[in-house]
């Protein structure tokens, strides 16, 4: 009886009602509401659930997150609504993208005259220490005397600002260009510098690809010898876009020796090979644990898995990095272990791997002059 009464008195959820609520949400940059501006692309109502898509110009993507969040909050306040989801997607305006002809097809290419080499660090799987490896390798290359940038391409889960110990928003240097933030001699750009830490990036493929393009094209990187690109897990839009947008000098694959991690690594290897990106080598992270008191060695995640896989595929094994609490502490504190403990076995391995990478991508003095 009470349920019937509740259903009768509950507000009927209609598209007209949703639009009237969304008209209360202003786009601060245009001083108008998101309905009048034509941003509402789709409204789906199913029982007491609402889903709305905001379609905005590509360059507005990051700035629309507060608007998206406010719209979602207002929809949740409608009487009877149990869930509301607002998603931002983007469209390209005519003439907004520049295409250049390649030998195979039409692909967007990034102007890279001031960056001599790009290296991608991938894993195919999350949780294997890829970002930790990326930041330490970037610093190791810097310690070898090269000018280095670090691009955090994990739009959904950026971690490099924390690991490199930087915060704040990039400063404008004129027009749409911004300057990367720096620490330990590394120039960094990350989505983590553009949105608050507690903000979830609810973006679809086109928005992610646009964000990546802007972090490459709209950042005043300066004259760099190499940019290390910290890829997100998986083999999706970002990885494919990068292979199209920049001439990658090579890719480095990070994995633990665990069989379940190696399953996804194989997918990443296959993706790079299909994209004609040379795989420079594999790194076995969390290879083993050595007791600091008695020296006993435990292979927590298995033994030699990456070495076996690398040999099977005729790929170089660049190094084996033991697990350590100090590595974790360095990442959390913003002082990577290669800086906090340069004499550790991890730091020595990173320096050795950097030297191998320099030779592999021909990053020698004569070529850089």
Q: What CATH number does residue 129 fall under?
A: 3.40.50.300
Establish if 63 belongs to a structural domain.
Answer: yes
Torsion of CA 100, 101, 104, 105, to 10 degrees: 60
Contacts of 99 (CB under 8 A, 6+ apart): 106, 107, 108
What digits encode the pLDDT tens for the residues 317-346? Answer: 999 999 988 988 888 888 899 988 899 999
Nearest to 98, CA basis, from 110, 84, 115, 86: 110
pTM of the model: 0.67
* Whether residues 178 and 239 fall in one domain: yes
What digits encode the pLDDT tens for the residues 17-75? Answer: 999 999 999 887 677 899 999 999 888 888 888 888 888 775 565 567 788 889 989 99
* Whether residues 253 and 283 fall in one domain: yes
CATH number at residue 23: 3.30.300.130
Give the C-alpha separation, 344 to 327, whole Å. Answer: 10
Q: How confident is the model at residue 201 (pLDDT cuts 50, 70, 90)?
A: low
**Residue 213 has which token pair?**
């393009």
Decide if pLDDT at 151 tops 90. Answer: yes
- In order of 116, 129, 329, 336, the CA distances from 288 in angstroms are 35, 14, 17, 19
Neighbours of 70 (CB within 10 A): 16
* Whether residues 84 and 143 fall in one domain: no
CB 281 within 8 Å of CB 356: yes
- DSSP single-letter state for residue 12: P
Establish if 100 belongs to a structural domain.
Answer: no
SS3 label, residue 245? helix
Give the C-alpha separation, 362 to 121, whole Å. Answer: 18
* Whether residues 81 and 128 fall in one domain: no
SS3 label, residue 343? coil
* Whether residues 224 and 323 fall in one domain: yes
* Whether residues 133 and 86 fall in one domain: no
Decide if pLDDT at 188 tops 80. Answer: yes
Give the C-alpha separation, 178 to 109, whole Å. Answer: 20
- DSSP single-letter state for residue 178: B
Domain coverage including residue 8: 2-91
* Whether residues 35 and 140 fall in one domain: no
Q: How many domains does the chain have?
A: 2
């Amino acid at each position: 009886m009470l349920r019937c009464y509740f259903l009768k008195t509950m507000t009927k959820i209609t598209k007209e009602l949703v639009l009237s609520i969304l008209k209360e949400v202003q786009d601060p940059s245009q001083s108008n509401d998101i309905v009048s501006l034509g941003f509402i692309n789709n409204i789906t109502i199913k029982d007491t659930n609402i889903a709305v898509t905001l379609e905005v110009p590509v360059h507005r993507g990051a700035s629309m997150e507060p608007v998206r969040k406010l719209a979602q909050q207002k929809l949740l306040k409608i009487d009877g609504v149990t869930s509301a989801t607002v998603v931002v997607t983007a469209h390209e305006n005519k003439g907004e993208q520049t295409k250049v002809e390649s030998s195979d097809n039409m692909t967007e290419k990034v102007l890279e005259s001031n960056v001599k080499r790009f290296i991608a660090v991938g894993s195919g799987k999350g949780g294997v220490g890829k970002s930790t490896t990326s930041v330490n390798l970037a610093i190791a290359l810097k310690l070898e005397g090269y000018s280095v940038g670090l691009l955090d391409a994990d739009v959904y889960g950026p971690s490099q600002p924390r690991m490199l110990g930087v915060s704040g928003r990039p400063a404008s240097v004129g027009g749409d260009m911004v300057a990367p933030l720096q620490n330990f001699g590394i120039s960094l750009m990350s989505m983590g510098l553009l949105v608050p830490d507690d903000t979830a990036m609810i973006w679809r493929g086109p928005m992610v690809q646009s964000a990546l393009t802007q972090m490459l094209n709209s950042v005043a990187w300066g004259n760099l010898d190499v940019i290390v690109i910290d890829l997100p897990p998986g083999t999706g839009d970002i990885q494919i876009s990068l292979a199209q947008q920049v001439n990658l000098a090579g890719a480095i694959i990070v994995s633990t020796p665990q069989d379940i991690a190696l399953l996804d690594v194989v997918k990443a290897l296959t993706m790079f090979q299909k994209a004609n990106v040379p795989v420079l080598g594999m790194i076995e992270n969390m290879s083993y644990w050595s007791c600091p008191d008695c020296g006993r060695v435990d292979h927590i995640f298995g033994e030699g898995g990456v070495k076996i896989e690398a040999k099977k595929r005729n790929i170089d094994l660049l190094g084996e990095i033991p697990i350590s609490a100090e590595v974790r502490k360095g990442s959390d504190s913003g002082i990577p272990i290669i800086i906090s403990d340069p004499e550790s076995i991890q730091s020595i391995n990173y320096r050795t791997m950097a030297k191998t990478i320099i030779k592999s991508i021909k990053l020698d003095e004569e070529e850089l002059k």
